Structure 1
Amino acid sequence: MIFTRRDFIKQLGFVSIGFSLLGTACMSNETGENVAESDESNRPEDINAWLRVMEDGSILILTGKMELGQGIRIAVAQVAAEELNTSPDLVEVNLAETGVTANEGYTAGSRSIETSAMSIRNAAAAAREKLLNLASEKWGVPQSELTLENGTISGGNEKMSLYEVLEGRQLREEIGQPSEIYGKTRRKYVGQPVPRKDISQMVRGNLDYVQDLDFPGMVHARVIRPSGYTSKLGSLDDSSLEGFPGFLKLVRIGSFVGVIAEEEYQAIKLSWEVNDLAQWELGDELPAGVPLKEHLKTLDAEVETEEEKGDWESAIKEAPIQHKAAYYKPYLMHAANGPSCAVAYFEDEKLQVWSHTQGVYPLRETLANLLEIPEASIHVKGVPGSGCYGHNGADDVAAEAALLAVEFPGRHVRLQWMRDEEHRWEPYGTAMIMELEAGLNSDGKIQGWKYDFWSDGHSTRPNGEPKTLLPARFLDRDHGVPGVGFKGGAVRNSKPYYAIDALQTTSHIFQGPLRKSALRALGAFGNIFAIECFMDELAHKAGKDPVEFRLDHLDDERAVACLDRIKKMTSEVKKGNGEGLGYAFAHYKNSASYFAVAAHVQLNDKGIVKVKKMWGVIDSGETINPDGLKNQTEGGMIQAASWALREEVQFDKEHVTSRDWHTYPIFRFEEIPEVEVEVIDRVEEKPLGAGEAAQGPSAAAVVNAVFDATGERIRDLPVNPVEKYLR
């Protein structure tokens, strides 16, 4: 099959935005009226599923992962450029898109480099070897005398572009096992801080996100929200809307209500009008009359022993030093700076959706079941959005836009949530309770350990079931609610990575009162926060330095190296009055990145904690882009510090009351600490997931630093609740 750049663009059949193949000029003159036929015959074991050689000499990389700000686009470009000995400037990356890229599920769990980038690495290395073999056969020149560089093969008296060598075809052979990985042996681009092309565009505000999409004739929509999760629409007299400026249609499907208008502000004003006209039945009350920490303990829970070894009970009871502590984290928001947004277009029984979802294929499957449309008739294009890591409102707004587009075919329907909607209706990171007990021997070593934690499930992402999407619960057909969801997220990092001979870890999985799903690090945030604070308390009980105490319980040289380095980085820190220094460590998932962290905090005269500086040491195995790895780690440290000090979802009996940046405060620019991160690059090792490694340890380091400053143990988050700022 001859496959040109032009063919690829024609196959897409819809608008591509500024950072994709076609450029921003196409935004205003491509209507996107024809859905591309899905080309899902490409098997993931074939080179063609990951890599295409284009007519102009560029290399097109296809990744099923989404760019969420983690820098996956430049990382996979570096990996491919290395194996093909081609400048990253000649490598283009097409992000997740049904029928075009491989189905890689979700961009989640710090797996993008471990999975997608390594698949692309192998495909590019295999492509290099097959291209050199083709040229050798074509010219009768030994492969040892051929050179591949910047999209061209030369040798003897011959020189051809890769496209010419292939005669316009693509490599459909299986990847197999390449004989050499340049990323391990040459490292011309891999391991280098190759700049991201999108950063300067972000700074200038000219990068196109899903929120910026524009189509000829596009209309705007808003959804009218009830007061609570189980509210039902009683009555709605819409007779007065006909003469409203810009009004096109009111959509009512059961208790799901939306308005469509010519202009966005018209849609907003219409939503206000309809909200005044609608009469709602309130539904079930939320448990606002009792502290949430107390309420969670009253819920029915599925109890299961997750880890057990040795006679932990006797080891604790017989220990000369015994200690107990309980910790708590509240519900946390994704708190995306840009409210969720999507565009949908429906015509001739085919649906197109542009979304910042983290899983284009799972979303397509779930939309198909929600709308009762064949999957083959739905095309989902991943477009980066202003958001954050985890399952926020992106899938929900895509489903709502799709529902409205089906009711208003032939024109692109754009739906963007308002700030109030984003805060009150997104799925949160669940609240957790963590209780620990341990016994120390006379040498200050842990001889027995008991850990119990209470948690909801940590992911209810779209999985084919409509009930995972917010609008499904308000339609006339009762789809139900997701339930607990992914229990494994709660268990993550619940087993301590330290060498302890006798221990038990027990999970208590409940279904809580608020909507929840995956938030960065899932249960690892709460588990590591509690374990690392408890390790600090045990070190104090043993009369030992907190870093040395951890080192005494580690037998992994990579973990030891991280802690040794963090200790050196902070050896010259001087603490003033009301200041403290705290440490923490974790091996994310006990299988991904190693991370050690220190935090320097200061208390003001109102008792409000401020983080002055944080230090981090991360070992993610082989480093693809050290700047990208540092950026991920710095961002995780700052976000975790904000979670620890400021953030908490609050609610009354009807619904969530944290509806803006005053009632749900996050770090402001002036609160962001200085951050210093060092990377341990282990070329001989495989790359490890890093995007979530900093969350739990960073929060623990901050809280441990508060103890160092005050002598007071804070075990419930946030350290600085909203009330402190309102004094």
Structure 2
Amino acid sequence: MRKTGISRREFGIGFGTLVAAFSLEPVASLAQVVEGAAPVSFAKNGRLDAWIRVGADGAVTIFTGKAELGQGILTALSQIAAEELDLAIEQINIISADTTRGPDEGYTYGSQSIEQSGMALRVAGAQARAVLMAAAATRLNVAVETLSVERGSVRSQDGRQVSYAEIATGDPELLRRDVSSAVRVKKAADYKIVGKSVPRIDFPQKVTGEAAFLQDMRLPGMLFGRVVRPPRAGAQLLSFEEAAVRALPGVSTVVRKGSFLGVVAAREEQAIAAMQLLREISRWTEDGPRLPRSSNLPDELRKFAKEDVVVSDTGQGDAAGIVHQWVEASYSRPYLSQAAIGPSCAVAHFADGRMTVWSHTQGAFPLRGDLAKALQLPAERVDVIHMQGSGCYGHNGADDVALDAALLAIAVEGQPVKLQWMRDDEFIWSPSSPAMAMKARAGLSADGKIVDWQYELWSNTHATRPGQPGGLNLLASWYFDEPFHVSPPLKIPQPYGNGDRNAVPLYDLPRQRIVNHLLTDMPIRTGSLRTLGGHGNIYAIECFMDELAMAAGRDPVEFRLAHLSDPRGRAVIEAAATKAGWAPNSRSDGRHGRGFAYARYKNISTFAAVVVDVDVDPSSGAVRVLKAVAAIDVGQIINPDGVISQTEGGLIQGISWALKEQIMFDERAVTSRDWADYPILTFDEAPEIEVVLIDRPNEPSIGAGEGSVGPASAALANALAHATGRRVRDLPLTSNRIYKGRIG
């Protein structure tokens, strides 16, 4: 069985999906796009053997700094490398996100793995193939252009052959050279593997139940840990009775470092019992910030200290003279949880002054740096090895639990410690996705065109990961005797953005002004979640476009097309509308509704258009999402099934966020502690899905992971407005809000 560096298990479920795909002629060849342009990942990882190595047994190992988060990146990267090396995909082994033997590619986020690691492996693969072919030509004493290669076996015209393994074994230094972008990658027309729906290489272990999630990891002599958090953020530990805890069966030690408190035991249930007793007998101060009122969150957000940033201010003159009518609306979304099915987990082993941590982090190298600071160890004595966790949509507790486990491992030097958070830890202490308030105002001309666009948003930072300057972003470190502090808010420039991601509309507008009110001081810990601020901004903009279309007396799809010149954007809108059988200006029967939304993620990445059909019970406001149709353009498609899976996941999560999800809290602390307090969309609530893939073989590949999330929420909200005739603008769109909206 081929290897992926580690063993993994997950229950893989595929939604029944109808798929249509078609190809459009490119404007440039991939060779033209790539040739001579050094992949960004080469800047830190400039050696060819940092990316590709050939073993004496013929196995070819490729290395990536990106982490498999369930998005299928190991399969897609293996396809790219196998294509350039003329290997079968089963001949490729892949090692991912490992500080001991892999390249430093920062974080796996922003749907950039294909753009960054994929491009690096494409160019490195082409270079390695060229080097191996040149060595084969010398060995066979023939011209290199007369050789052919298949499955790593190089053949001359007279039938002689030599394998990559033989070539590499004969010259161990062959691939130990600098990378070069002065190579020609394959043309799309010559692809045999890229563009095909190759089965996921990590699925066999997942569907057969082999141990491979980090939560399943077992090491010889492994102990188990748990931590006790304060009753509210900021509270300090006063005292606890250590002897009572040590007297419990199996307890190895109790660890205190300032107000960080943890326990290690021989068995997991013993660690949990000790943790529960520690909670009961520990005494804490009442320190802690006052949390905002969740009942009136949008207004509360506007009260906090802020830094105003003008994101865009374009167009000349005063539009007032040509505005026929002004339209204004405000929208909001609540704090959202990462809500991974499996709680955050880490395994740590400290021996001979060296710390090894197995983590489902999104950034092995940044985590290593912050762990080294927190533990006061040289970075070269800290190793972080990625293993897949059970669900990851952003900055969850993976990095925090890594430090938790490391602190306990130091106390039992020589024995590995596995530490898994409890479910309430995950909801209360992992970074939440920030709440957002959005206000839009636009002027329409007499002929129904947008002539002025004004947009404001209120949100605090969506980026507080390890590795950022000015602080240390690991939870336990804030409770040391000499505590570290969280990094200041990170400003990410456009077009990537932070809370203002996707705040600039894609439409052709003669005048626009966008202002980001960056909240600098918020009492609830926040961090990155799928799309960052893109979800809230796409939701608001696309709902507002529907409201403007209604004010102008225009069909929503036609109204969007009238304001959009981008040919790729128009193509996805038309494809989604055609596949869904969109009927312009259709009327609702008071129960069934249909909504549309469009976005380009980060304004530079995936194009997505979504149609959602809903059924609303008129007596209760209960919503059933019947169907979602999405058209997607990710440039050159590496693995169609992978793009479909990511699109499905984004649609379902966007629907779940829109209908159900919100973190609840009182003035002291988060009160959402389990799935009853924080419901998500269930399997039987998932709609039928159809996906249209628009393949552009010679356009650069762009990531698919986040493109459909925002449009899904907006299309759902537009469908509900169409069904009921009333607009509910604050997420989540609960039955209670819908029912009140209908009778209010």
Give TM-score scaled by structure 1 length.
0.92
1:460-509 C-alpha deviation (Å, 9 max, x unpaired): 00016663111111111121233433453112111101000111000101
SS state at 2:539 partner:
helix
Alignment of 1:582-593 (within 5 A): 582-593=595-606
Quick check: 2:5–2:96 contact (8 Å CA) kept in 1? no
Q: Aligned to 1:598, which of 611, 614, 636?
A: 611
How far is the alpha carbon of 1:18 from its aligned partner?
A: 10
* Deviation at residue 667 of structure 1 after TM alignment: 0.4
Distance 1:418 1:41 in 2: 39
Q: 2:310 aligns with which of 291, 305, 309?
A: 305
**Cα distance in 2, alignment partners of residues 362 and 174 from structure 1:** 24
Residue in 2 that maps onto 1:659: 673
Q: CA deviation at 1:22?
A: 7.1
What is the aligned-residue identity percentage?
Answer: 42
Q: Which amino acid aligns with 2:603?
A: N
Give the superposition deviation at 1:173: 2.7
1:14 match? none
Deviations 1:108-166 (A, max 9, x none): 01100000011001000111111111111222111222111112111134211102112
Alignment check: 8 A CA contact 1:583 1:700 kept: yes
Provide the C-alpha distance between the structure 1 equivalents of 2:455 and 2:717, rounded to a whole number of angstroms: 19
Q: Displacement, 1:399?
A: 0.8
Cα distance change on mapping 1:270 and 1:722 into 2, 3 Å: farther
* Paired residues for 1:244-255 under 5 Å: 244-255=248-259
CA deviations on 1:172-212 (whole Å, 9 max, x unpaired) are: 23332354322523110000000103224323332511111
Q: How does 1:394-433 map to 2 (within 5 A)?
A: 394-433=398-437
Confirm or deny that 1:554 pairs with 2:554.
no
Contact persistence 1:460–1:486 (CA under 8 A): no
- 1:102-251 pair list within 5 angstroms: 102-155=103-156, 156-166=158-168, 167=170, 169=172, 170-177=174-181, 179-182=183-186, 184-251=188-255
The DSSP-based 3-state class of the residue aligned with 2:531 is coil
Which one of 633, 637, 641 corresponds to residue 623 of structure 1? Answer: 637
| Cα deviation, residue 318, structure 1 | 4.1
Shift of residue 250, structure 1, vs aligned partner: 0.4
Aligned to 2:29: none
Aligned residues: 694
Is the 2:291–2:668 Cα contact (8 Å) retained in structure 1?
no
In structure 1, distance between residues paired with 2:398 and 2:370:
13
The verdict on how the C-alpha distance between 1:570 and 1:666 changes in structure 2, with shifts beyond 3 A counting, is same
Give the 3 Å change call, closer, same or farther, for CA 102–427 of structure 1 in structure 2: same
> Aligned letter for 2:641?
D
CA contact (8 A) 2:498 2:532 kept: yes
Amino acid of the residue matched to residue 307 of structure 2? Answer: E
Q: Does 1:579 align with 2:592?
A: yes
1:475 corresponds to: 480
Check the 8 A contact 1:646/1:721 in 2, yes or no.
no
Q: Residue 541 of structure 2 aligns with which residue? A: 531
1:498 is aligned to 2:507: yes
2:659 corresponds in structure 1 to: 645
Partner of 2:427, secondary structure, is helix
What residue identity is the alignment partner of 1:520? Answer: R
Secondary structure of the 1:298 match is coil
The answer on whether the counterparts of 2:606 and 2:703 sit within 8 Å (CA) in structure 1 is yes
Please give the alpha-carbon distance, in whole angstroms, between the structure 1 residues aligned to 2:376 and 2:2.
Answer: 33
Name 1:62's counterpart in structure 2. Answer: 63
In the superposition, the TM-score normalised over structure 2's length comes to: 0.90
CA distance 1:18–1:239, shift in 2 (3 Å): farther
CA gap 1:413/1:179 in 2 versus in 1, 3 angstroms: closer
Deviation at 1:104, TM superposition (A): 0.2
Q: Deviations 1:651-676 (Å, cap 9, x if unpaired)?
A: 01221111100100000111111111
Question: Where do 5+ consecutive residues of structure 1 fail to align?
Answer: 1-16, 25-39
Preserved CA contact (<8 Å) 1:20 1:93:
yes
Cα deviation for residue 453 of structure 1 reads: 0.5
SS at match of 1:599: strand
Quote how far apart the aligned CAs of 1:400 are. Answer: 0.6
Which of the residues 699, 703, 710 maps onto 2:717?
703
1:281, distance to aligned residue in structure 2 (A): 0.9
For 1:18 and 1:263, locate their aligned partners in 2 and report how far apart those are by CA, in whole Å: 33
Amino acid at match of 1:716: D
For 1:352, what is the secondary structure of its paired residue? strand
Which of 393-402 and 596-605 deviates more?
596-605
Superposition CA RMSD, Å: 2.2
Write the distance in 2 (CA, Å) between the matches of 1:579 and 1:459: 39
Shift of 1:570: 1.3
For the 8 Å contact 1:395–1:462, the answer to whether it is kept is yes
2:522 corresponds to 1:508: no
Higher relative contact order (CA 8 A, sep 6+): 2
Amino acid at match of 2:482: R
Tell me the CA shift for residue 408 of structure 1.
1.7
Kindly provide the amino acid, as one letter, of the partner of residue 120 in structure 1. Answer: L
Indicate yes or no: 2:337 matched with 1:337: no
Given the superposition, is the C-alpha separation of residues 242 and 724 from structure 1 closer, same or farther in structure 2, using an over 3 Å criterion? farther
Query: Equivalents in 2 of 1:42, 1:306: separation in Å?
Result: 29
Write the letter of the residue equivalent to 1:161. Answer: S
Q: Is the 8 A contact 2:292 2:300 kept in 1?
A: no
Q: Spell out the pairing of 1:47-86 with structure 2 (5 A cutoff).
A: 47-86=48-87
**What SS is found at the alignment partner of 1:100?**
coil
The amino acid across from 2:115 in the alignment is: E
- Contact kept, 8 Å, 1:427 with 1:516, in 2: the verdict is yes
- For residue 257 of structure 1, what is the aligned residue in structure 2? 261
1:490 match: secondary structure: coil
- 1:362 aligns with 366
1:88 to partner: Cα distance: 0.3
Structure 2: how far apart are the matches of 1:518 and 1:345?
28
Any idea what SS the aligned residue of 1:444 has?
A: coil
Tell me the equivalent position of 2:30: none
Post-superposition Cα deviations, 1:351-385, rounded to whole Å, max 9, x if no partner, equal 00000000000000000111110001011101111
Q: Unaligned regions of 5+ residues in structure 2, if any?
A: 9-40, 740-744
Q: 1:21 to 1:594 in 2, by over 3 A?
A: closer
The Cα of 1:584 is off from its aligned counterpart by 0.5
Q: Structure 1 CA distance, aligned partners of 2:655 and 2:44?
A: 43
CA distance in 2, matches of 1:723, 1:570: 28
Q: Distance in 2 between matches of 1:18 and 1:660?
A: 38
